[in-house]
Structure 1
Amino acid sequence: MASAFNFLFLLLISIFLLSLFQVSSSSASEAGIEAQPHHLQVVKGPTRRLLTLVDCRGLCAIRCGRHSRPNVCTRACGTCCQRCNCVPPGTHGNREMCGRCYTDMLTHGNKPKCP
């Protein structure tokens, strides 16, 4: 009986906290305050601009999920993602969708670096 009461109590507290969070986020959007991305990258050069960073770890896990050597693929993909701020969709191919940065990066052996 006590464990059922504890479970019910925790469930009600969780629902209350979720509703409180939703109210605070909706009131901020009504006030004209937009949520800022947590991770920003400044691109240095003649035209400085802010870029939002992509979730490299999650996208590379999807990209390299069916690779024969997933750890090697994930490491290379992470490097390419951090440098180019892009990971192509799917598990193979589509490299041209990330542009020249991703397609032109080579290893020391002059082989394509990015999976």
Structure 2
Amino acid sequence: MKFRTSATTTTQLALLLFVLLLVASSSLQVSMAGSAFCDDKCKVRCSKAGRHDDCLKYCGICCAACNCVPSGTSGNKDECPCYRDKTTGKGDRKRPKCP
């Protein structure tokens, strides 16, 4: 079975592929920018933490979900209610998730 494609169909497919590449590229740049934002903010937030690696890990998770990190190395969580309100555990064992 042979398929014949016209020049119009080929052009439309090429255009569709180009648009998809543009969309993929722009969303990658946005996610990379978000990551750089979180990395920079979490480095400051965790600079004095005793368990630096754990702090960076959980700060990064919270930042990605909330798109904000409170200023300073501790406290100030009212600046970012989403960050403040994330918890781990259930029932009586709930603890703040975000450093």
TM-score (norm: length of structure 2): 0.61
Identity of aligned residues (%): 42
Coordinate RMSD, CA, aligned: 2.1
Determine the C-alpha separation between the residues in 2 that align with 1:110 and 1:76: 15
Partner of 2:30: 39
Please list every run of at least 4 consecutive aligned residues from structure 1 whose deviation after the TM superposition is greater than 6 angstroms.
Answer: none
Bigger RCO (CA 8 Å, 6+ sep): 2
Number of aligned positions between the proteins: 68
Q: Provide the C-alpha distance between the structure 2 equivalents of 1:69 and 1:53, rounded to a whole number of angstroms.
A: 24
SS of equivalent to 2:87 = coil
User: Which sections of structure 2, spanning at least 5 residues, go unmatched?
Assistant: 1-25
1:111 equivalenced with 2:95 (yes/no): yes
Q: What TM-score do the two structures reach when normalised by structure 1?
A: 0.53
State the Cα deviation string for residues 2-47 of structure 1 (Å, max 9, x = none): xxxxxxxxxxxxxxxxxxxxxxxxxxxxxxxxxx9x416xxxxxxx
Q: How does 1:52-71 map to 2 (within 5 A)?
A: 53=34, 55-71=37-53
**Is there any run of 5+ residues in structure 1 with no aligned partner, and where?**
1-35, 41-51
Q: How does 1:96-107 map to 2 (within 5 A)?
A: 96-99=78-81, 101-107=82-88
Separation (CA, whole Å) in 2 of partners of 1:78 and 1:70: 12
Deviations 1:60-96 (Å, cap 9, x if unpaired)?
A: 0110010011101110100000000001110010011
